[in-house]
Amino acid sequence: MDRKFTRREFGIMAGVAASTLAAPAIAQGKPKVVVIGGGPGGATAARYIAKDSKGAVDVTLIEANARHTTCFFSNLYIGGLRSFDSITHGYDKLASDHGINVVTGFATSVDTAKRIVTVAGGQSVSYDKLVVAPGIDFKYEAYEGYSKEVAETIPHAWQAGPQSQILRRQLEAMDDGGVFLIAPPPNPFRCPPGPYERIALVAQYLKRNKPKSKIIAVDAKDKFSKQALFEEGWAKYYDGMIEWLPLNITGGVKAVDEKGMTLHTGGESFKGDVINVIPPQKAGAIATAAGLANETGWCPIDPFTMASTRAPHVYVLGDSSIAAAMPKSGFAANSQAKACAMAIRAELTGSRAFEPRYSNTCWSMIASGDGVKVGASYKATREKIASTDTFISKTGEDAAMRTATAEEAEGWYAGISADIFG
């Protein structure tokens, strides 16, 4: 009994993505895979397709920037615990170790009928299979007065890189006694525990350096991920410094006043010396432009392969996708990429495909040497990616356990970085 799918079976499984295997482009030579986006989703997919097909597939990675600063651990940079360099990675190993063609440029359009991606500057690249993993974009218009330009003074720092550096510099420049105002976004968004980890690590920085300062969080939600763990930690380490205001108290941010350094809600207004607005989110612009997003602003996928349900020969990974029970995390994007890489190789080269497995673990730092985690296993069903088994750190854990968890997070960062970038 062979575990290998016949191409027909795979076709049924992948829905729209499968019908035209004997595409002319494949007949002419090596099959071509193009990947848009070199984050945890895209870079992992490119690396695994190239690595495991051992040269049988031609892989091109189109990434806007020469280097990628990971969002994960960017809160540690903002809190002064990590250098910017230590969370920034190049793509040289993907090219040298696996023969991936790395194109540094912004993909501006996708023609899913002709199977061509156009890059800013005019270069076009054709594909047999396309992986789209551009991460998120922001709904700036949700808050009056907020925009990409205003984000230069009132950063979101929710795409790591220059935005994280702006926020770090502002915190360093803030006077003791200042107010750090943060506006966590509504669901669904990238990294559900992220805003609360940021609050903790900024609090640690302020407590050590500017202890009279305050943090006010004007949330767009009434509850949040790992809430009990964060609230316990905030009270333990930063008692009296943090004020978290749920949606039902303020009504949420309505407008951003850049000149007045103020956030307006339905009722009260809040002034900040440093303001961090994390706006509502949607799939990366290129995914929307390619017609891969539905009315929710995110991209529906086949749970078994991550194939788009809206365009043939296209797959969507990571934050842009609707992965149901899986959160928008780097870990999840990396996990999805491996299932997708296997499915793409099977279609293009006839290699074996096994039942996909998905998993996630998200660590958060509450203070230096105090880490917590939440994680889960998932399986693909016809309807969605469903969670099968979960775990979470407990309140009241002893210091040794928390130190071990914090150390695991460090080990994970090293491991997943190597898994993504080589």
Partner 1 sequence: MRYRRTKTAMTLLAGLCAGGFLCAPASADELYELGEYLAGDCTACHQLEGRAPGIPPITGWPVESFVMVMTAYKEGERDHALMQNVASRLGDEDMQALAVYFGKQGQQE
Residues that bind ligand HEC (CB under 6 A): 361, 408, 412
Query: Which among ligand FAD, ligand HEC, partner 1, none contacts residue 389 (Cβ within 5 to 8 A by kind)?
Result: partner 1
Query: Which among partner 1, ligand HEC, ligand FAD, none contacts residue 91 (Cβ within 5 to 8 A by kind)?
Result: none
- Residue 136 or 343: the one with the smaller Cβ distance to partner 1 is 343
- Residue 96 or 209: the one with the smaller Cβ distance to partner 1 is 96
Q: How far is the CB of 110 from ligand FAD (least distance, A)?
A: 9
Q: How far is the CB of 257 from ligand FAD (least distance, A)?
A: 24
Query: Which among ligand HEC, partner 1, ligand FAD, none contacts residue 3 (Cβ within 5 to 8 A by kind)?
Result: partner 1
Structural element, H or E, at residue 416: helix 399-421
The Cα 321–Cα 318 span in angstroms is: 6
83 binds partner 1 (CB under 8 A): no
Three-state SS sequence of 236-296: HHCCCCEEEECHHHHCCEEEEECCCCEEEECCCEEECCEEEECCCEEECHHHHHCCCCCCC
Using CB under 6 A, list all residues that contact ligand FAD: 36-42, 62-65, 68, 71-72, 74-75, 106-107, 133-135, 158, 190-191, 194, 198, 284, 286, 318-319, 328-331, 333, 362-363
In this structure, the strands spanning 274-277 and 179-183 are: parallel
The Cα 184–Cα 206 span in angstroms is: 19
9 binds partner 1 (CB under 8 A): yes
DSSP 3-state assignment of 337?
helix
The Cα 26–Cα 31 span in angstroms is: 5
419 binds partner 1 (CB under 8 A): yes
96 binds partner 1 (CB under 8 A): no
> Contact 141/43 with Cβ under 8 angstroms?
no
Q: How far is the CB of 97 from ligand HEC (least distance, A)?
A: 22
The Cα 26–Cα 112 span in angstroms is: 16
Of 129, 80, 131, 71, which Cα lies nearest the Cα of 331?
Answer: 71
Binding site for partner 1 (CB under 8 A): 1, 3, 5, 9, 13, 48, 52, 304, 331, 334-335, 338, 342, 351-352, 354-355, 357, 359, 361, 373, 375-377, 379, 382, 388-391, 404, 406-416, 418-419
